Structure 1
Amino acid sequence: MSSEFDNKVAVVTGAAGNLGRAVARAFAERGARVALLDLSEPVIQAVIDEQLPAGAETQAFAVDLLKPESVSATLQAVIDRFGRIDILANIAGGFTMGPLIQDTEDRDWDFMMNLNARSVFYTCRAALPSMLENGWGRIINVSARAALQAKGRMGPYCASKAAVKTLTKSIAAETKFDDITVNCILPGTIDTPQNREAMPDADHSQWVPPEALADVVLFLASDAARCVTGAAIPVYGKS
């Protein structure tokens, strides 16, 4: 069965994580050629071997998203392997609680801003030239509900995710005449083993499955969303 994603080249960062695996699998199942990026190539290869459909055209790439030279070299390696970049799904990121702002150290602030915001800046900067050259592209970033509904003891995290949302809108404004769309999703609580362990008494049935978020990423990469750019889409489920 043919798909509009047949032969599209999709780059998925954080591909070894729960959401990254779901997004990579969704693209691979629909015929995309998928570059899976994360820190450890053997870990990503295990994801490919164990969780992606047999016969899918995929490749693992090790990258340090906090080092611009690593990001640039890795995305160039993706282009060398697949010929171009059509879709960039920036799934990598993280969450930490923390102290009150007056007790927050520079390293706590830097960690969240680097992991969640700087990494997105680096990957978008490296991927956009290929999209502009080919006259088509889709970028989907992951912000968070916390970008809109900030809470205490989460200042660096909330600020970093707000930065992702605003950066998304800025890039969308720059590329809206180039057939490139740039959007972000705002997940609620994601149903992952780690979250279940951290919150064992919560009603896990109310949380958002990674596969549901992957569906929204696919929509934003699809032709159905060709007129959607600069959007920040809540995906809260019942959480």
Structure 2
Amino acid sequence: MQNHIALVTGGTGALGGAVVAALLEAGAHVVVPYHRAGDLSALRSRLQLDAAAALSGEQLDLTDEQAVQTYYQAVAQQHGGLDVLVNVAGGFAGGQPVHEAGWEVWQQQFDMNLKTAVLSCAAAVPHMIRRGGGAIVNVGTRTATQPGANLAAYAASKRALLQLTEALAAELRDHEITVNSVLPSVIDTPANRGAMPQADHSAWVSPAAIARVILFLVGPDARIISGAHLPVYGKA
């Protein structure tokens, strides 16, 4: 990944931070748009990075179309292009039957899990085309592929993300841009352990393990893979 410019949305979270660490270790310069002031500094501390680490970023609302376009343009101009986009940004809300969940829950889930990815892909793709190729990985969920009660808004937003992945793969094939998704189940994070203290944590997959799969998908050995949805839930 030497001389590659990689942008990671949601890069300050548990999985996103692991993806950032894997890309940095592989030699990429990593750009992280973050949500709250101080998030990037906290990530640097958590990853124990020195001041010379090839990590940069700015505070950005990933649901603001114009702001996303402007920022991605600035990143491409500053670094000479954009090679990799990993859409980790998203979140879960709901946990209610469809007839009890108001539309605001659905809107929130589609904004967090689909809109952020759509806007980021739309802003990044022209720069990848000019670069002569690239790679995009979207983080979906196992829930998007199977029935589940009280998860409709979340599952629907993530299932739409899979359709986005397939459409982009078809559209960008001739531009040498691969587009794939990974499908985690329960990820072994402090937040999930706190929420489910009685669960079998040994069956969960670590963020670092998922990050290594993502690193493979954006690397040179995965150029023949596009439009795939890879399950990364191990025994969970």
With normalisation by structure 1, the TM-score equals 0.95
Q: Is the 8 A contact 2:96 2:150 kept in 1?
A: yes
Q: Is the 8 A contact 1:89 1:139 kept in 2?
A: yes
Q: Is the 8 A contact 2:94 2:105 kept in 1?
A: no
Q: Which residue of 1 aligns with 2:25?
A: 29
Amino acid at match of 1:117: L
Q: Which moved more, 1:209-218 or 1:35-44?
A: 35-44
Unaligned runs of 5+ in 1: none
SS at match of 2:21: helix
Inter-partner Cα distance in structure 1 for 2:190 and 2:164: 30
Q: Is the 8 A contact 1:41 1:60 kept in 2?
A: no
1:110 aligns with 2:107: yes
Q: Which residue of 2 aligns with 1:58?
A: 55
Deviation at 1:178, TM superposition (A): 1.0
Amino acid at match of 2:27: G
Q: Which residue of 2 aligns with 1:191?
A: 188
- Given candidates 202, 209, 219, the residue that maps to 2:216 is 219
Unaligned runs of 5+ in 2: none
Q: Is the 8 A contact 1:37 1:61 kept in 2?
A: yes
Q: Is the 8 A contact 1:28 1:53 kept in 2?
A: no
Q: Which residue of 2 aligns with 1:101?
A: 98
1:128-143 matches, cutoff 5 A: 128-143=125-140
Q: Which residue of 1 aligns with 2:204?
A: 207
Q: Is the 8 A contact 1:45 1:60 kept in 2?
A: no
Q: Between Structure 1 and Structure 2, how many residues are aligned?
A: 235
Deviation at 1:172, TM superposition (A): 0.3
Deviation at 1:49, TM superposition (A): 4.1
Q: Which residue of 2 aligns with 1:236?
A: 233
Deviation at 1:124, TM superposition (A): 0.2
SS at match of 2:181: strand
With normalisation by structure 2, the TM-score equals 0.96
- Given candidates 11, 16, 21, the residue that maps to 2:12 is 16
Deviations 1:171-230 (A, max 9, x none): 000011111000000001100111001100001010010001100100000111000000
Q: Is the 8 A contact 1:145 1:187 kept in 2?
A: yes
Amino acid at match of 1:48: R
SS at match of 1:38: coil
Q: Which moved more, 1:146-155 or 1:118-127?
A: 146-155
Q: Which residue of 2 aligns with 1:6?
A: 2
1:89 aligns with 2:97: no
Inter-partner Cα distance in structure 1 for 2:154 and 2:46: 32
Q: Is the 8 A contact 2:186 2:233 kept in 1?
A: yes
Q: Is the 8 A contact 2:117 2:138 kept in 1?
A: yes
Inter-partner Cα distance in structure 2 for 1:46 and 1:53: 10
Deviation at 1:97, TM superposition (A): 3.2
Amino acid at match of 2:47: Q
